[in-house]
Amino acid sequence: MKTVLRNGRILVGEDFRDDVAVVIEDDRIVAVVAADDAAVAGAEMQVDLGGGWLMPGFIDAQVNGGGGALFNNQTDVDALRTMVAGHRKYGTTGMLPTLISDDVEVMARAVQATREAIAAKLPGVLGIHLEGPYIAPARKGTHDAGKFRVPDADEVRMATSLDNGVTLITLAPERVPLQTIKQMVANCAIVAAGHTAGTYDEIRAGLDAGVTGFTHLYNAMSPLQGRDPGAVGAALEDADSWCGVIVDGVHVHPASLRVALAAKPRGKVFLVTDAMPMVGSDNPAFELYGEVITAVDGVVRNAAGSLAGSALDMVTAVRNTVNLLGLPLAEASRMASTYPAQFLGLDDRYGHIAAGYQADFVWLDQDMQVQATWISGQRD
């Protein structure tokens, strides 16, 4: 059955258009047509968008938890289902469930749970993000340094063994042999630098070995200074790498984010939430490594005062990008969909409203509040 989404401002190409409609059939977009096209009037089902915005569904490459579940604490398909549901109400239609530094057995369970979820076609799970444990104690954030290690060959094989989805690994390039980074990339993992105390030269060596991204730019990494560019300087200078950013007004000052946008080529900065279980849940607290962590006034910190992920959802990140950074909604939308899809190598299927793409959408009203989402053509 064909469904038409019409009477909205639809993000097609560079900007929103109010003179087109989207035709979907099953899980795919089959056409973007003129609003007065005969296909619109003849569709079996029509959705009137009421003048709201229709954009590609948001893709979040860093989701630690949601809906009350934390992936580290519950490494199974039920947890992933809960996390997807918790974030979908905020426009996220694709995610990488993210495992914070943990024991090898927990990592193996997380990879297996992700494999099972994708095989079962759980909507919204695109792969896994292993954030650590191959990171630097000096930039550990809320991670448990007792879990940190250098992976041997067997662990590399396990960490890169997901065979039906994307694997993203965040590591500190100065802590991992360059040959190991090359092997991860050869095993089809995407490798990002994060939680790193690396010097500029060490980060550059990591980029040369296959690092293509930076996890939550500015946070938990060596800063840019005049005589010591650090990880941030390497990230901003490198034209080919992508940078995830947390736009919540807490993790990074808006001016610093504007500097990153000015330094990087367009399309190389994308939004992440680094979300914890309180997103999509009424409970502001959760347990990590045996410690109870609570969000206070929307800011998540551990007992030591370190930021411990965020209470940010993706539609709020999009609104913040408009309101704090001064970007047009169309560009903020691309930072939440098109650009992360490109970083993850999925932009042939996700991140655009165009014929042949998966029918993943988010519909926002005039106040930029989510009215509905679609994943594979199925409305929530």
Per the annotation, does 308 bind a ligand?
yes
Judged by DSSP in three states, 220 sits in coil
Rounded Cα–Cα distance for residues 77 and 160 (Å): 19
B/e letters for 153-168, b = 16+ CB within 10 Å, e = fewer, are eebbebbbebeebbbb
41: its two tokens: 């009037």
Per the annotation, does 307 bind a ligand?
yes
Q: Element (H or E) spanning 317, and its range?
A: helix 314-323
Q: How many CB atoms lie within 10 A of CB 73?
A: 15
Q: Which of 338, 188, 321 is nearest to 257 (CA)?
A: 321
Q: Do you know the residue count of the chain?
A: 380
Q: How far is CA 32 from CA 57, 264, 360, in A?
A: 16, 31, 14
Per the annotation, does 298 bind a ligand?
no
Per the annotation, does 309 bind a ligand?
yes
Per the annotation, does 356 bind a ligand?
no
109: its two tokens: 């369970």
Per the annotation, does 131 bind a ligand?
yes
Q: Which of 331, 289, 314 is nearest to 142 (CA)?
A: 289
Per the annotation, does 196 bind a ligand?
no
Per the annotation, does 215 bind a ligand?
no
274 catalytic per annotation: yes
Catalytic residue among 60, 102, 238, 274: 274
Enumerate the β-bridge partners of residue 58. 92
Task: Give the residue numbers annotated as catalytic, written as ranges.
Answer: 274
Residue positions forming the annotated binding site for Zn(2+): 131, 195, 216
Residue positions forming the annotated binding site for substrate: 142, 219-220, 227, 251, 307-309
Residue positions forming the annotated binding site: 131, 142, 195, 216, 219-220, 227, 251, 307-309
